[in-house]
Structure 1
Amino acid sequence: MLDMDQSCKLMKALFKNANNPRVAWYLFKRVLSSPSSSSSSSSTHSIPIITSILIGAKMHREIHELPQLILFSQPLYSAYPCLISLVRILAKAGHLDESVIQFKSLRSQFQEIPPPVSIYNLLLELSIEQNRVDFVKWLYTDMIVAGVKPQTYTFNLLIQSLCDSGCFEDAQELFNRMSEKGCLPNEFTIGILVRGFCRAGLTTQGLQLLNSTENVDLSSNRVVHNTLISSFCKQDLTDEAEKLVERMRKHHLFPDVVTFNCRISALCRLGKVLEASRIFRDMQIDEELGLPRPNIITYNLMLKGFCNQGMLEEARALFDAMKKKGSFMTLKSYNTWLSGLVRNGKLLEARLVLNEMVDEGIEPNIYTYNIMMDGLCRKHMMSDAKKLMTMMISNGVYPDTVTYSTLLHGYCSKKRVSEAKNILHAMIINRCLPNAYTCNILLHSLWKEGRTLEAEEMLHKMNEKCYQLDTVTCNIVIKGLCRSGKLDKGVEIVSEMWTGRPASLAKGNLFAGLVNEIHNVSNCFPDVITYSTIISGLCKVGRLDEAKKKFIEMMAKNLYPDSIIYDTFMYTFCKQGKISSGFRVLKDMERNGCSKTLQTYNSLILGLASKNQIFEIYGLMDEMREKGLCPDVCTYNNVINCLCEGGRTKDAISLLDEMMDKGISPNISSFKILIKAFCKSSDFGVACELFEVALKVCGHKERLYSLMFNELLVGGQITEAKELLEASLDRYIILKDFMYKDLIDRLCKDERLDDANCLLQKLIVKGYEFEYSTFVPVIDGLRKGGHKKQADELANWMMELTLQDRVKNKIYQNAKRIIHGTVDKGGRSDWQDIVHRDDGSGIALKTLKRVQKGWGQGSILSSQPKKNDSLDYDEYSG
């Protein structure tokens, strides 16, 4: 038998060899395996030491051997406490699974000996921390079997576990049964249950619990009261919160700064910053009332509240006051102020604040730079964003995933996808791994830009890098397929997202196969956005019956449609003139609790307009205003169109005035409807006035010029059409949609050859490319009028321009032949088409044949259009 001296020697030897765990384990085994130690319990003191050494060295096999060694070397009365000690040490070291395994083994071998309640409490506490509900249930059941009486602390742990699992009724029941088990709840029990109720939004039940606890003195527990106050404020139940504060005062439990911070935080979160500001002001000035003074957290909460509501002047004043106090200026304060400035578009001031931080000795962190990066990218200031990244690296702060993702998103929003791909490449090179969000941004942009092959490559790379594919990724792919005309593949992916294992790859559906090849695809279930995308795609191509089936399918999957899906169906029905079907969708929408949106009303107005039901439209517009929805330009355009179709152009003009009075800018479509209507009624004066207004509102757009020109020409206003065409040429407006050939032909028929000839000369001088058949009526007219020389000169011009086009066409055809390996079967140029036309223009034909003799002589004018430097020309959104 080992005596005390031998036990001490073993402990010293283990301590000495703590850094050499193999030797320590060998010594321990040798001592415990020796016959002289078989009846001793003194070695119990060495169990914690050797267990700690084995845990530190991660010698799991030896840890598994330890219980058997203890049982083999010790009598039962001595082995039991050693094994309990082993379980306790494993649990305290965080090895929950191993400790529970050892504890279960111990319970099977020592069923008659009840373990101490402390070991149950320890294992329960660790199981709750690691969210192991299965262990919690087993431990509590085993306590009952072992006949171990739980303590109040045990019940507190169990109630906390039930609250964390959302089992509030079970937690309440367990609380009520505590007295049956001989345990009385304490203030911590109440606090745990109240906090659980509040986190679940059941604040009223938490307050009822507080009121029902007669046997528990909670008069000094501010934590429970603060929890309830904060929860009431979060639910916008500020009156209940104020009552609880007054109740605290009556019980001489004066609210502390935490109480007030809870109220201020909740009020600011709800947007009630002025109310929070009053509380903040009282904390600063009402010392005689015994209110707590605001701390740095209070100041930061108010600063954030002001910034979030766009109250920059108040935020600036508070920030200056914080600077005067000195100790209240922290990195968090600066970041809050920076975020507020950036969010409200004050980037220049934000940059000055960033410099000020450095001057004040407060080093910006990665969050600081990410705030600035986000602001610059939102304003599309990409060069400044790149400079900021260089600056942060030079200051020793290296970009993280958020930084790179923000920059990548900025480039994608400017449609600079190639540069976005470079950012992703730089991100990987710098060992900053992109996440699914980063990849989704780029994937979405590739689809949006129609770069399908690159999107496919991106999916392959996501698969290779084992990125977890989420539902967002699938939705992006489905939307891209719908946009690129591959709707059936999108439909197939939606179906296969439910099954998880597609057969689509064998069918040639590459993207569906890719989606399901990527890791963790089984977790990518369709959501409302998935169905919204596919239903919208089906409706756009007229496959309404299939869209209805998808609607029924999503309902069967317990996915309930939102307003967007209902609006899609309503717009489709109304566009087809099926008003009754549209209103049936509206009833279903209201029955399912979806609110009407602006799109809802626009769809219904569109449908009613097609039936010329103007009074019903006005009724809908009144209803919109009552619900606080302001009509947009689409709403007004539909109503204006309806009025114009009904011949009520004066009412339509009044509606245009109403739009502009309310600050709603009309678009090109608004003016197009009105101009066409007035031209149709031969009121060209009003139409021209509208055209002038349209130029001021929408800018000098080609669509407006071509619209007005064509309407004047069709209406027989030849002189006005000619003047407008000349004005368009002076502005270098593209003539794509102009009926200029018809104008020249009409001028020739009206014997205004000089005007027609001047227009042709202007087209050539301005460098326009145009159809050379336009020459024919002018040449023909000049020849008939005896102006042979002018006809020959004009024909020569035509031939020279045609020759250059012929050369360019040949170069193009050669390039086409090289690329595609094909030959153009036609082979004839524009001038040959003109020569062989059977339009009765014999004089022009003779003139052309005669000038062929001088082919190539003289200067060949450039037919390249002059570059348009006008800022007025761009893509129009109307």
Structure 2
Amino acid sequence: MSLINSAPKHSKLLRLLEPKKPSSFLLLRHLCAEPSSQPPKQDDEAIEATVTQALELLQQTPHHDWASSQPLHTLLFPSSNPSPSVLFQITRRLPSHSAALNFVDYLRSNSALQDVQVLSSAFLAVLNLAKRESNSPETLSELYRVSKEWKIPLNVDAAVLLVRSFGMAEMVDESALVFNELDPSLKSTYVRNVFIAVLLKDGRVDDALKVLEEMLQPESEVPPNDGTRDAFFHGLRMKKRNGRWLSIEEIVQLVVRFGEHSVFLNSIMLNKLIVQLCRSHQIDQAWDFLRELMKLGAPIEVSCFNAILSELGRKRDVNRMNSLLREMKDRDIQPNIITFGILINSLCKLRKVDAALEVFKKMSEGNDGISIEPDVITYNALIDGLCKVGRQEEGLAMMKQMRSVNGCAPNTVTYNCLIDGFCKGGEIDMARELFDQMKNEGVMPNVITINTLIDGMCHHGMINSAFMFFNEMQGTGLRANVVTYTTLITAFCNVNNIDKAVELFDQMLKSGRSADAIVYYTLISGLTQAGRMNDASNFFSKLKEAGFRPDIACYNTLIGGFCRTNKMDKAYEILKEIEDVGMRPDAVTYNTLITYFSRLGNFSVALSVMKKMRQQGLVPTIATYGALMHACCLAGEIDEALKIFRNISKSKLFPNTIIYNILIEALCKNNKVEVALSLMNDMKVKGVKPNTTTYNAMFKGLKEKHSLEDAFKLMDGMIIDACNPDYITMEILTEWLSAVGEIDKLKTFLKGFEVSPSDAALETLQA
């Protein structure tokens, strides 16, 4: 048999298959219950007497005279069939393997010995003696050569001893030689099990598979047994530097083929395989594997179904979850608390809380003959689900119900779910009450509790209260983590209290906490928004010193800040660094630069930046076009602005109200009211709704042109569009219509309208 050295390929899968016995070749001595090939026992006293007498004669007679010793001949060969048990015992008790080998030589030279199998038993004893001596592998190798020379066939025990011993000595080629030369009738399941273990220990997976393949054939004369299973899967787990690892697909296939011979992994190992399939996102294969195992009669337990159910829950596949539950019911596999927990948790995550409550009710009331008392995990999943959909009061009621169940008291997770729910709902006072309640009941809050409350306070504008609570908790020994500090730092940055944010950052470092990249990004952004670019640059340097690599968003933040503070040289430095680190500017980078040059009125540079942007394969946004158009309009280049406007459609973007307003305002200011009116009509045709700013720009332009009839039409259109006039509209129309004696028109126009504040500021921000 040719042994193949497989290329090593590491895999974590088989580490899951925990052995049930110590990792040792001693395990293989018990791989099967096959009877030993040692001679059958005879009368103990008679055997002992013969053995003792023979040993005395052998000791008293030089070994070259044994053949001529009549007393020895008479004792050992009372008939043509000497006792195998006696000869085995005598050989085994000789002082060394060499003395034992001389005795075997004496036996085989005696014509009274007719059965060569008797010599096999005696030779086994020689091998046993040699194995216990020093330099045993070499000795055993020589003895195997002698057995072939003397034509003494190995019996099963002798073959196993040699295969195993050579394997332990890492002489696997010799193990293979013994196995290959063994009489086919002796290559039993037991022998094959030992040989498979030797091959796997040496990493020769493919050779082991060849041996196993013969055993796994449908009509195999040497079918696998539990020993084969243990030898094979234990062997695959052994950590070797060489030898490939089987893929999960190969293992699953082998498990099924073992099952066809009614040999199965235990339920724990089967469950681990199914879990591994699920974690590898092979849910279909896991399901098919489970069905095949059930068809073969494997010891499937509810945990295997739970593994698949859990993965289906993560995928939010409710239909297949229901299908799996029906299959469990059809096969009379009773769900347990974990099954119900998976269902309830999955439904809650899908926001199907009422369905989860229905499952909870069935579980508690004992429908279908099943009555399972919920545990704290089940209650917590329901409470969290209720709070996530804004039903905090029902969550509180569930906690009260929870207290009535023996051994099911609310824990930290229970309170954290409720506190989070009330914080999300803006009921910070109730969240604080629950925090005090949990402490009074002896339930210890953790850092998640603290972070939840601080985050809730910050999100609802209670930053000072959050900071006071933070200091209070620090005094009680509840240590904040980086999430706590990040929440507070972000909150103070958002209200432009940068000094406090920096102070908290320094405090975090002094307390032994390591800042993560998010904290640095938050401070860089806050300092940039506050216009403190020197400080932002300082934190940018600290970010890199801490071993973090800035992302493009961080670079863009700095570029935007330098542009806003007119420090273009610094912005260029950042652009150069982006290039040096192997990154590429993104659309935000280009838009920031285009907006900057547009604001300066340098639209030629802005257009050049846009051209490069396109060359990089980046698509300009509506905001990009809006910035360019605004720059052109400021520079009085209305035709260029119109050209850019026409390019918007070519780029498959759709102009919005802000884009139209930029052009309409510029056209009206430049006495091109007719073009502006045409543009406004185009706007309506394309489904873009004009706003108050649009109408105000047109009213100003029409007033300058004294186009009263067009103004009346626009007033009617404003009513149709339900676009409320603001104070600017009122100033324009009141002054104009009063001057031309059309105050009644204004009164009619204002009927049903409530004058709204100007939305111009909002529009500017959107642009």
Q: TM-score interval w.r.t. the shorter chain?
A: 0.5 to 0.7
Q: What secondary structure is seen at the aligned counterpart in 1 of 2:390? A: coil
> 2:374 aligned with 1:255, yes or no?
yes
Alignment partner, residue 355 of structure 1 = 471
Structure 1 residue 315 corresponds to structure 2 residue 431: yes
User: Which residue in the other structure is 2:248 paired with?
Assistant: 136
Give 2:322's aligned residue. Answer: 207
On the 8 A contact 1:643/1:652 being kept in 2, the answer is no
1:480 and 1:332 mapped to 2: Cα distance? 38
The one of 638, 646, 649 equivalent to 1:548 is 649
* CA positional deviation for 1:384: 1.7
Q: Which amino acid aligns with 2:337?
A: R
Q: 1:457 aligns with which of 562, 573, 597?
A: 573
The one-letter code of the counterpart of 2:343 is L
- Pairwise CA distance, 1:192: 2.5
Q: Which residue of 2 aligns with 1:771?
A: none
* Other-structure match for 1:372: 488
Paired position in structure 2 for 1:196:
311
Aligned residues: 546
Amino acid at match of 1:306: F
Preserved contact between residue 273 and residue 306 of structure 1 (Cα < 8 Å) = yes
Q: C-alpha displacement at 1:264, in angstroms? A: 1.9
Indicate the SS of the match to 1:396: coil
Which residue identity does 1:550 align to in structure 2? Answer: S
- Deviation per residue, 1:806-848 (Å, 9 max, x gap): xxxxxxxxxxxxxxxxxxxxxxxxxxxxxxxxxxxxxxxxxxx
Return the letter of the residue paired with 1:198. Answer: G
Aligned-pair distance for 1:325?
2.8
Q: 1:267 to 1:195 in 2, by over 3 A?
A: same
Q: Work out the CA distance in 1 between the residues paired with 2:526 and 2:507.
A: 18
Q: What does residue 205 of structure 2 align with? A: 103
Q: Deviations over 1:5-51 (max 9, x none)?
A: 998999xxxxxxxxxxxxxxxx99x989987899833447858xxxx
Aligned counterparts of 1:245 and 1:669: Cα–Cα separation in 2? 49
Residues 453-532 of structure 1 correspond to what in structure 2 (within 5 A)? 453-465=569-581, 474-483=586-595, 484=597, 485=603, 486-487=606-607, 489-490=609-610, 492-494=612-614, 496-497=616-617, 531=621
What residue is the counterpart of 2:356 in the other structure?
Answer: 241
Give the secondary-structure state (helix, strand or coil) at the position aligned to 1:373. Answer: helix
Q: Deviations over 1:674-700 (max 9, x none)?
A: xxxxxxxxxxxxxxxxxxxxxxxxxxx
Whole-Å Cα distance in 1 between the matches of residues 732 and 655 of structure 2? Answer: 26
Which amino acid is 2:592 matched to?
A: G
SS of aligned partner of 1:461: helix
Structure 1 pair 295/669, CA: closer, same or farther in 2 (3 Å)? Answer: closer
The verdict on how the C-alpha distance between 1:166 and 1:111 changes in structure 2, with shifts beyond 3 A counting, is closer
Alignment of 1:232 onto 2:339? no
1:278 equivalent to 2:397? Answer: yes
Q: How does 1:481-630 map to 2 (within 5 A)?
A: 481-483=593-595, 484=597, 485=603, 486-487=606-607, 489-490=609-610, 492-494=612-614, 496-497=616-617, 531=621, 541-542=641-642, 543-551=644-652, 577-578=678-679, 581-583=682-684, 585-586=686-687, 612-621=713-722
Task: Write the letter of the residue equivalent to 1:476.
Answer: V
Q: Distance in 2 between matches of 1:463 and 1:602?
A: 45
Change (3 A) 1:221 1:83: same
Moved more, 237-246 or 132-141: 132-141
- Answer yes or no: is the 8 Å Cα contact 1:608–1:617 preserved in 2: no
Q: Distance between the aligned counterparts of 1:422 and 1:585, measured in 2?
A: 49
Corresponding residue for residue 305 of structure 1: 421
Partner Cα distance (2:681, 2:283) in 1: 48
Which residue identity lines up with residue 648 of structure 2 in the other structure?
Answer: A
Alignment of 1:112-127 (within 5 A): 112=214
* 1:496 to 1:246, Cα distance in 2 relative to 1, 3 A: same
**CA deviation profile, 1:746-788 (whole Å, cap 9, x unmatched):** xxxxxxxxxxxxxxxxxxxxxxxxxxxxxxxxxxxxxxxxxxx
CA-based RMSD: 5.1
What do the CA deviations read for 1:724-763 (whole angstroms, capped 9, x no partner)? xxxxxxxxxxxxxxxxxxxxxxxxxxxxxxxxxxxxxxxx
- C-alpha separation in 2, matches of 1:417 and 1:7: 81
CA shift in 2, pair 1:145/1:464, >3 Å = farther
Q: For 1:305-454, list aligned pairs within 5 A.
A: 305-431=421-547, 434-435=550-551, 437-447=553-563, 449=565, 451-454=567-570
Change (3 A) 1:608 1:113: farther
* TM superposition shift of 1:474: 1.0
Give the 3-state SS of the residue equivalent to 1:354 in structure 2: helix
Say whether the 8 Å CA contact 1:342–1:375 is kept in structure 2: yes
Larger relative contact order (CA 8 Å, sep ≥ 6): 2
Quickly say closer, same or farther: Cα 1:464–1:495, change in 2 above 3 A: closer
**1:424-469: CA deviation from partner (whole Å, max 9, x where unpaired):** 1133335555455544432443455554443343243345446x66
Instruction: Give me the whole-angstrom Cα distance separating, in 2, the residues matched to 1:267 and 1:608.
Output: 52
Check 1:657–1:179 CA distance in 2 against 1; reply closer, same or farther (3 A cut).
closer
Show the counterpart of 1:41: 163
Q: Which moved more, 1:362-371 or 1:78-87?
A: 78-87
CA distance in 2, matches of 1:269, 1:311: 14
CA offsets, 1:199-221, max 9 Å, x none?
22222431343134224555451
In structure 1, how many angstroms separate the alpha carbons of the residues matched to 2:364 and 2:378? 12
CA 1:479–1:242: 2 relative to 1, 3 Å: same
Which secondary structure does the structure 2 equivalent of 1:356 belong to? helix
1-structure distance, mates of 2:237, 2:752 = 70
Q: Which amino acid aligns with 1:479?
A: N
Cα distance in 2, alignment partners of residues 640 and 5 from structure 1: 116
User: In structure 2, how many angstroms separate the alpha carbons of the residues matched to 1:271 and 1:308?
Assistant: 8
Letter in 2 for 1:475: A
Q: Which amino acid aligns with 1:269?
A: K
Distance in 2 of aligned mates of 1:69 and 1:206: 52
Shift of 1:191: 1.6
CA distance in 2, matches of 1:170, 1:572: 59
Task: Measure, in 1, the Cα distance between the counterparts of 2:332 and 2:271.
Answer: 17
The aligned residue for residue 86 of structure 2 is none
Are 2:236 and 2:245, in contact at CA under 8 Å, matched by a contact in 1?
no
Once residues 538 and 349 of structure 2 are traced to their aligned partners in structure 1, the CA distance between those partners, rounded to angstroms, is 44
Find the aligned partners of 1:332 and 1:290 in 2 and give their Cα distance: 27
| Cα 1:619–1:390 shift into 2, 3 Å | same
Note the C-alpha offset of 1:311: 0.9
Contact conserved, 2:259 with 2:293, CA < 8 A, in 1?
no
Q: How far apart, CA to CA, are the structure 2 residues paired with 1:376 and 1:5?
A: 83
SS of equivalent residue, structure 1 residue 621: coil
Q: Secondary structure at the match of 1:213?
A: helix
Letter in 2 for 1:41: V
Q: Normalising by structure 1, what TM-score?
A: 0.52
Amino acid at match of 1:265: D
Compute the displacement of 1:423 (Å): 0.9
| Unaligned 5+ runs, structure 1 | 11-26, 48-65, 88-101, 127-131, 499-525, 553-563, 588-598, 623-630, 671-874
Alignment TM-score, normalising by the size of structure 2: 0.58
Instruction: Name the CA distance, whole Å, in 2 between partners of 1:230 and 1:435.
Output: 36
In 1, distance between residues paired with 2:143 and 2:556? 69
Partner deviation per Cα, 1:555-585 (whole Å, 9 max, x = no partner)? xxxxxxxxx9766777689885445654554
The change in CA–CA distance for 1:193 and 1:480 in structure 2 (over 3 A counts) is same
Identity of aligned residues (%): 17
Distance 1:379 1:238, change over 3 A: same
1:477 deviates by 1.7
